[in-house]
């Protein structure tokens, strides 16, 4: 993830399908190549705190590269606040996973995986941060109808 | 667990769920209880759906645990116990009747095992149940209770 500021864009978007309109991926790509990274080697994303993120190794091909970069454009205020956090990458990743879980885009197991936590660690985090079960009225109606079916047996 | 035993005559836990909840469950009391129950095998039994010859169904956006629960329910004509919205929708799509924590509590009230659910839900919420207040309020109102109790 790279951050830039001052463009006044909409915040978060994936750079696809046209690769890197602002040319952000190119320096990253070059610096990775300089550091001996080969596009066909599986790699682990380095974690600021030193504790290894339990990510599955991802193999990136050169031609896929631009599509894997997510650029977050945000004002300086964000940057200053994030700099104060102990593990900004981990926090952003967890919060984003919790968001996609809470709007019902992914299930809890998948979201926990995306957050780099076990299901139970993620459950604890969600509870501590007041993230509710993504149930809608229809889910409750279905549950009550299930109860009626069993109660009638 | 004791309440579940009074509501359900026999329960099965597929291998993927056993791995996910029981082995990775860390220090959670519920996980320890479930492990002991599953190892004793009297009321709760572990089942490997592949060995039992049950085909894995469910879409790939669900995790292995949810898919195995749904497959087992479909293969053995059982009721899947699921709280996860995505898993419940998939179960419903396949013609199953999923039930979750709230439904089991409602059945417990119906069978006069628990007179008032409010205090029980309050306690469960403090221990990790994450249903929102408006949803619980709506649920309890239909059972003639107020929220918060």
C-alpha angle A9-A11-A15 in degrees, rounded to nearest 5: 85
pLDDT digits (tens, 9 = 90+) for A49-85: 545 444 444 444 444 444 456 677 888 888 888 888 8
Interface subset of B 38-77, CB within 8 angstroms of A:
61-66
Confidence of residue A35 (pLDDT cuts 50, 70, 90): low
- Residue linked to tokens 């600021």: A48
pLDDT at B27: 66
pLDDT digits (tens, 9 = 90+) for A104-149: 888 888 899 889 998 889 999 999 999 999 999 999 999 999 999 9
Say if strands A70-73 and B11-14 run parallel, antiparallel, or are unpaired.
Answer: unpaired
Residue B145 has pLDDT above 90, yes or no: yes
B130/A135 touch (CB, cutoff 8 Å), yes or no: no
In order, the DSSP letters of B95-149 are T---B-HHHHHHHHHHTTS-S-SHHHHHHHHHTT----HHHHHHHHHTTT--S--
Q: List, in order, residues 6 or more apart from A91 with CB less than 8 Å away.
A: A85
| Mean pLDDT across B4-8 | 91
The answer to whether residues A117 and A93 touch, using CB atoms and an 8 Å cutoff, is: no
- CB contact B88 to A (< 8 Å): yes
Q: Searching chain B, which residue's CA lies closest to the CA of residue A107?
A: B86
Return left, alpha or beta for A25; rule: phi > 0 is left, psi -120 to 50 is alpha, else beta.
alpha
> CA B85 to CA B135: how far, in whole Å?
14
Count the helix, strand and coil residues of chain A and give each as a percent rounded to the nearest 5. Answer: 50, 10, 45
> Percent of chain B scored above 90 by pLDDT?
71
Residue B40 has pLDDT above 60, yes or no: yes
Rounded to two decimals, what is the model's pTM?
0.74
Give the H or E element holding residue A13.
Answer: strand A12-14
Among B73, B106, B117, B127, pick the best mutation site for testing chain A contact (most A Cβ within 10 A). Answer: B106
Sign of the torsion angle spanned by Cα atoms B90, A94, B14, B103 = negative
Q: Searching chain B, which residue's CA lies closest to the CA of residue A113?
A: B63
- CB contact B118 to A (< 8 Å): no
Identify the bridge partners of residue A70 per DSSP, sorted by sequence position. A14
For helices A88-102 and A119-128, give the axis angle rounded to 10 degrees.
90
Q: List, in order, residues 6 or more apart from B59 with CB less than 8 Å away.
A: B90
* ipTM for the assembly: 0.91
Residue A36 has pLDDT above 80, yes or no: no
């Amino acid at each position: 993830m790279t951050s830039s500021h001052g463009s006044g864009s909409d915040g978060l978007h994936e750079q696809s399908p046209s690769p890197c309109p602002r040319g952000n991926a190119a320096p990253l790509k070059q610096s990775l190549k300089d550091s001996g990274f080969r596009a066909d080697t599986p790699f682990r994303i380095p974690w600021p705190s030193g504790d290894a993120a339990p990510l599955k190794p991802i193999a990136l091909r050169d031609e896929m590269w631009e599509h894997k970069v997510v650029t977050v454009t945000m004002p300086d205020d964000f940057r200053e606040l994030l700099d104060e956090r102990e593990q900004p990458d981990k926090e952003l990743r967890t919060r984003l996973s919790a968001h996609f879980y809470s709007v019902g885009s992914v299930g809890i197991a998948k979201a926990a995986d995306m957050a780099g936590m076990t299901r139970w660690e993620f459950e604890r985090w969600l509870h501590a941060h007041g993230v509710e079960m993504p149930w809608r009225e229809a889910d409750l109606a279905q549950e009550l109808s299930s109860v009626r079916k069993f109660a009638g047996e | 667990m004791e309440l579940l035993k009074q509501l359900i005559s026999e329960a099965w836990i597929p291998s993927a769920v056993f791995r996910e909840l029981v082995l990775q469950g860390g220090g959670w009391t519920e996980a320890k209880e479930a492990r002991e129950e599953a190892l004793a095998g009297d009321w709760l039994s572990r089942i490997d759906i592949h060995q039992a010859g049950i085909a894995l169904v469910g879409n790939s956006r669900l995790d292995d645990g949810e898919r195995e629960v749904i497959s087992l329910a479909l293969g053995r004509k059982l009721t899947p116990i699921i709280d996860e919205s995505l898993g419940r929708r998939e179960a419903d799509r396949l013609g199953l009747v999923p039930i979750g924590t709230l439904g089991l509590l409602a059945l417990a009230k119906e069978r006069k095992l628990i007179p008032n659910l409010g205090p029980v839900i309050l306690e469960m919420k403090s221990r990790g149940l994450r249903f929102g207040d408006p949803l619980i309020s709506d649920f309890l109102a239909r059972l003639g209770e107020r929220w918060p109790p």
